[in-house]
Chain A
Amino acid sequence: MKIDDTLGFAFRSLRGYPLRTGLMLLAMAIGVASVVLLTALGEGARRYVTQEFTSLGTHLLIVLPGRSETTGGPPPLLGETPRDLTLEDALALLRSSAVRRVAPVMVGSAPVTRDGLSRETVILGTTAAMAEVRNLSMAQGRFLPAGEASRAEAHCVLGHKLKTELFGNTSPLGRFVRIGERRFRVIGTLAPRGQSLGVDISDVAIIPVASASALFNRVSLFRILVQARGRDAIPRAKKAVLDIIRERHDGEDDVTVITQDAMLATFDRIFKTLTLAVAGIAAISLAVAGILIMNVMLVAVSQRTGEIGLLKALGAPGGQILRLFLSESAMLSLVGAALGLLLAGGGLLLAERFFPNFPMVAPAWALLAAVGVALASGLVFGVMPARRAARLDPVAALSRR
């Protein structure tokens, strides 16, 4: 029997039982679609996090006061304060050729008042470099001007939400707000960006770091954001930061440097594992579809014993009957997989419509894997019924009507 005749025969027998065929296709399609969709979900989450991290700024190193490494040395006792990280420390980092920009960050909380409207908000004290380091974009006006970082200028930049709450739709540029006990002139507002890794950047007021120092009456920085000159310069920049701070802090390693790439890589790994796990769970539904195919094919074999007996009487050897039934399972799983891909495509389109910010994309390997697993499970689970058909005793098969 020729291959095309075998396939044609299998196709016609599938068409001969539309309900049965339809149900099996549905099971296969749902299995494949769930693999693709769940993988896309995992991949989407990975991309979302990566994108969030990238929006923090590129080639970023974060310097935190205090050591939080667990390797070696006695654990820090409660209440032991590390040496403060100061504005001078931050500016000293610029000495390294691996460092492009440095943005010191001082964080505090103070009421921001305007015409009797008052809001307790987060106050960020920083320098002009912050805009580039964190990729901040402006809605109106400009960011803090570059200049002496130690000068306590009385101007501020408002986050989008804070601006709306204090000024409504009117322009705040050139107007004054009171932060704590001091008056600041508004020189710009940030473009709305929403959440950025949990920190609501729209509900802040940004003032020069020296003003913040005066406002909160302290010199210690919350952290220093360092932008390296490039991706390759990150390890060098990290070493330079540690060296410079150690030198300035009497030879003590009392800061922690986190590189953004390291965090990114960690999250990347976590989400890749997660995606694989989710895809694995979805693959179980494919296996279930495979078992369903086996079940229904077994029923088909017992329904079609007469036909199988006839084929044997007409001179079809067992191997040929095996091939006929395997072709049926293979066709079911292939067509089912194709339908599943269509279904998944539709699902992805819908998801994109409703959650445009969440980048749901099914990676190519997931598509291939889904179709491969579908075909494999169809064939593996198709073997048993097909063998049963091939081994039927023709006399017994023909004697039943």
Chain B
Amino acid sequence: MICLEQVERVFQVGEETVYALQQVDLTIQPGEYVSIMGPSGSGKSTLLNILGLLDRPDRGVYRLEGLDTTELGERKQADIRRHKIGFIFQFFHLIPRLTAAENVELPLTLAGVAASQRKTRVAEALDRLGLADRSRHRPDQLSGGQRQRVAIARATIMQPAIILADEPTGNLDRASGTDVIETIEGLNRAGMTVVIVTHDPELGQRTGRQVRMLDGRIADDRRRTA
């Protein structure tokens, strides 16, 4: 489903040329549960951004469901992001002036779904994540764990095939972090492909496949034999 071939990403920092990704080959099958780990600056966030079509590789090919995405225009890429990919961020990125329900509704609104249909889908999503009684609260009235669950509801409302999570527990205490991870694992069991970028080795241990990055290269790619 996800297939990277010889992907490179280069940044120019002042005089220096920094290779964020070098010759990365990575194939992820549908339904996999993958963690990407590594020290800061190892390129794991860049990899995730490229997987999410927020960034383009300078060299190499990224095929998503057999489609070469590197040649697509901005509009087409936005389309793929909207329908196939759900993002979960470390800092939640909820819009502060909108209520929980309105934040979850946003992808549907952007996709032009009719208002009546939006309401029922949002209500169902919030219900699934145990946030039904919080739907009218604004983000600043919610706890960190609740905010991240609102973000998960938003990421999944379009029924994407892939969930990309960047340090989803990085800003949460232990209890709500575990809670969020269990929610994400639930999504994986329901058939979604999940890729998590994390510093946390304990979280890394839970995933079915662990990719370790170092200096822009994949240093290690292990599957848990269960």
Q: Which of B49, B81, B97, B115 contacts A314 (CB 8 A)?
A: B81
Q: Is the CB of A401 within 8 A of B91?
A: yes
Most buried by B among A13, A307, A314, A317: A314
Residue ID in chain A nearest B76 by CB atoms: A317
Q: Is the CB of B109 within 8 A of A5?
A: yes
Smallest beta-carbon distance B121→chain A, Å: 15
Judged by a CB distance under 8 angstroms, whether A66 is at the interface is: no
Contacts of B112 in A (CB 8 A): 1-2, 5
List 12 interface pairs A-B (beta carbons < 8 Å), by A numbering.
A2-B109, A5-B109, A5-B112, A12-B102, A16-B97, A306-B93, A312-B81, A313-B87, A313-B93, A314-B87, A317-B78, A317-B79
Give chain B's interface residues, CB within 8 Å of chain A: 49, 52, 54-55, 74-75, 78-83, 87, 89, 91, 93, 95-98, 102, 106-107, 109-112, 115, 154
Main secondary structure of the interface of B (DSSP, over half): helix
Q: Is the CB of B54 within 8 A of A307?
A: no
Q: Which of A16, A307, A315 contacts B83 (CB 8 A)?
A: A315
Contacts of A309 in B (CB 8 A): 93
Smallest beta-carbon distance B148→chain A, Å: 14
Smallest beta-carbon distance A80→chain B, Å: 84
Judged by a CB distance under 8 angstroms, whether A54 is at the interface is: no
Interface size class of A (residues with CB under 8 A): 20 to 34
Contacts of A9 in B (CB 8 A): 109
Give chain A's interface residues, CB within 8 Å of chain B: 1-2, 5, 9, 12-13, 15-16, 306-307, 309-320, 394-395, 398, 401
Q: Which of B49, B79, B97 contacts A395 (CB 8 A)?
A: B49
Contacts of A401 in B (CB 8 A): 91
Q: Is the CB of A13 within 8 A of B55?
A: no
Smallest beta-carbon distance B134→chain A, Å: 19
Most buried by A among B55, B93, B112: B93
Beyond A1-B110, A395-B49, is A315–B93 a contact (Cβ under 8 Å)?
no
Question: Bound state CA distance, A314 and B157, in angstroms?
Answer: 11
